[in-house]
A and B are shown apart, each in its own frame.
Chain A
């Protein structure tokens, strides 16, 4: 390793005669530094996205497509059923909730405040819940829904691509899914995203 250099030999690192002067080495350095910087940028981007509240939400493949056909019993009177056909003609919001779901309780005041504006029908989708628990929950926190339908087994929920409450869909008058939000609604989401979209649906016919 540390053998003394014979006289006249080029110093390590000095340009070697006959070899293109540091061309390859410069390319190599550029590649390595460039790769490293690219990796840093990628990681920084990942970190900057990691505090989004919806970082784990999946984009719904249903957006722009027809909402699934369904017919489910009404929570307050299971002898009635409400289905996709009954909801046609006017846009509606489908809000997935359960009495077992802490996030639903969190978003409940936000949803109630928006439902009070009566801009759009808010349909409750009571998912994998005991009806008695659901009714007690509504009694305790208030019922902002136009109607609540129940999916006890969760089979219809698979058609909607529902995977965790709360989830909120916006469906237009033709029955096309326009928007989906996974996780609790916040005032910011309602004011900045949902309300303008609902207004757009009304003006657009």
Chain B
């Protein structure tokens, strides 16, 4: 008898769980209603080389919405669309440079993680070299001052603690 009761209890529990799941399923689409339409069909690559080229290219392109992610990493709806566009352009036989130009003409140079040299990007490209150069100048000045101070004073105690 008790086995039958246990069985009935199990059935009730199972039915309850199923009802909960069904309710969750009914509620889910409603909470997701305020979402931009997105094409969820995955891109199908012909071969490994094509996939790798696509991956390389999208890594060098910046997502315009979530501004510090690459196009390859981002899950924003616009990133989905742009990846599809890049894929279609690849299929049309366009080169990497042509694809980048296509996006720059529409979204600006912001989309390039490696912007072209010149104009507004001079400081970006030369900045690190300038900082290195400034450091080298400081180093040379300090070393020369110390060397000449040592030579003249012939004293092991110099003003090394000055800086």
A residues lining the B interface (CB < 8 Å): 3, 5-6, 9-10, 12-13, 16-19, 24-25, 27-28, 31-32, 35, 56, 58-62, 98-101, 127-130, 133, 152-155, 157-164
Contacts and interface: CB of A to CB of B under 8 A. Distances in A.
Given A12-B159, A100-B36, 14 more contacts: A3-B157, A9-B155, A12-B161, A16-B149, A19-B149, A28-B142, A28-B163, A59-B108, A101-B36, A128-B38, A152-B37, A153-B39, A154-B78, A163-B65
B152 interface: yes
A35 B36 CA distance: 47
Contacts of A162: 78
Interface stretch (B1-9, B15-23, B45-53, B99-107): B99-107
Contacts of A19: 145, 148-149, 152
Interface in B132-160: 134, 137-138, 141-142, 144-145, 148-149, 152-153, 155-159
Contact of B152 (A3, A5, A17, A101): A17
Given A35-B134, A56-B67, A62-B106, A13 B81 contact: no
Nearest to A102: B34
A100 B35 contact: yes
B83 to A, nearest CB: 11
Given A28-B138, A62-B106, A158-B85, A98 B33 contact: no
A56 B62 CA distance: 14
A94 to B, nearest CB: 15
Interface of B: 33-39, 64-65, 67, 77-78, 81-82, 85, 104-108, 110, 134, 137-138, 141-142, 144-145, 148-149, 152-153, 155-159, 161-163
Given A12-B157, A163-B64, A158 B106 contact: yes
Given A24-B144, A31-B134, A128-B38, A5 B106 contact: no
B108 to A, nearest CB: 5
A166 to B, nearest CB: 13
Instruction: Label chain A's interface by main secondary structure.
Output: loop
B141 A28 contact: yes
Given A18-B148, A127-B36, A12 B106 contact: no
Given A18-B152, A56-B67, A58-B108, A99 B39 contact: no
B36 A31 contact: no
A141 to B, nearest CB: 14
B107 to A, nearest CB: 5
Contact of B153 (A16, A100, A129, A161): A16
Given A28-B142, A154-B81, A164-B78, A58 B107 contact: yes
Contacts of A18: 148, 152
A42 to B, nearest CB: 10
